[in-house]
A and B are shown apart, each in its own frame.
Chain A
């Protein structure tokens, strides 16, 4: 796929989503402001990082969910699905690159606040898997529920509950790291859950499009 086609696809996304398109970028800006406020008010290094995990990473899946929700509108899926079989991987990749770039900037802000020693290899692996999970789960949920409202609600409720209560509210799988892992299990469990979530999402997306 050449440069002009990629540019066309981004332009099409922009036209299709209208003002919704810029929302994730506004949220990224808000995240920077929140991280700076938290850093100024607390010495806890995971607090600014929670903003990256709990707000920026989930919002990175925004474009894919809203773009593909058009496939599930009345009268569209049967006509459009065939065409998106070839493009779904490219769409996932180009949005991963776009949002991955934005998240990289937020990680740099985290390092600037917490120092480079903060980002250990396990945290980096966890962040990468969390990003991958949120890139895929929206489309997987859409393919299951066939409704933007339901898919978004499920993701938003889980994420909000987890982040707002720091993973203490419900005894369901915990995907986030709200403090430095104290033992191998506290790191391994979220990574295992994320791995399972990613595999299941890939299977669901694969079943839908191929």
Chain B
């Protein structure tokens, strides 16, 4: 488990993270709108960025010294835009990374083939990095991390920019990896978090709004989530006056899901998206 206590990061006199405290375990989703400080937090955890105050521990061991997290073998980080050595083949890249980690060049092939198999890229082993799609490149990034066998994997917006098939494949891979590792997934896409995560932290403007289970986040919207059956002609006025979170088209009407403090239509059980939006709305109303 990674414990973050009172972490503050100030850049250009602006608090990017303020007094962030989180307990990260299992498959952990870090959710928040753009600019919430998710990437900054991930980069701090990966030891790539200094912070101003706070401490970070891995289990019982403190891994932050002064204002930086030590770059420990246990933590692997995959940045959002992963691209290395575009002119080399995937195998050449992984072989080199394995050697840099101390593997013997003559003996590392089985391990490389094993991690390539794990990320389901065996048939692309001899393709150049620049010939791979964005999703494939990210899977190479995961293979690279797996060579190191870290117990904690940090993924920054792992599915951003991927097409739907690649996104599903990537999510399944993350789910599988989460069986025996701690995984932190930062995303602004609630669907990814809903599918993968066992625990969620929500950041907004550098502060923690929520930490807990997906069910607890859903419950934030329980008193406010309603569905209305709306004739096609009235949809525009509903959208202009209510907080619409989803529209589902039926043959004779439209089913509109809204967040509302006033009773409207029928109350329904909230989903993660509803809870997340209710939380952000609550934070916004409190300034």
Contact = CB atoms under 8 A, between A and B. Distances in A.
A151 to B, nearest CB: 19
Given A83-B97, A86-B102, A15 B92 contact: yes
Given A79-B144, A85-B71, A70 B84 contact: yes
B76 to A, nearest CB: 8
Interface in A1-20: 2, 4-5, 7-9, 12, 15-16, 18
Contacts of B83: 73-76
Nearest to A7: B105
Interface residues of B, number: 30
B254 interface: no
Contacts, number: 64
B149 interface: no
Nearest to B141: A79
Interface residues of A, number: 25
Nearest to B71: A82
A16 B104 CA distance: 20
A27 interface: no
A74 B88 contact: no
Q: A interface, by DSSP: helix, strand, loop or mixed?
A: helix
A15 B81 contact: no
Interface of A: 2, 4-5, 7-9, 12, 15-16, 18, 70, 73-76, 78-87
Interface of B: 43, 46-48, 71, 77-88, 92, 95-97, 99-102, 104-106, 141, 144
Given A79-B77, A79-B141, A83-B97, 16 more contacts: A5-B104, A8-B95, A8-B99, A16-B85, A70-B85, A73-B86, A75-B80, A78-B46, A78-B48, A78-B79, A79-B78, A79-B82, A82-B71, A83-B100, A86-B101, A86-B102
28 contacts: A2-B104, A4-B105, A5-B99, A5-B105, A7-B105, A12-B96, A12-B99, A16-B87, A16-B88, A18-B87, A70-B84, A73-B86, A74-B81, A74-B83, A75-B80, A75-B81, A75-B84, A76-B83, A78-B43, A79-B78, A79-B82, A80-B84, A82-B47, A83-B97, A83-B101, A84-B100, A86-B101, A86-B102
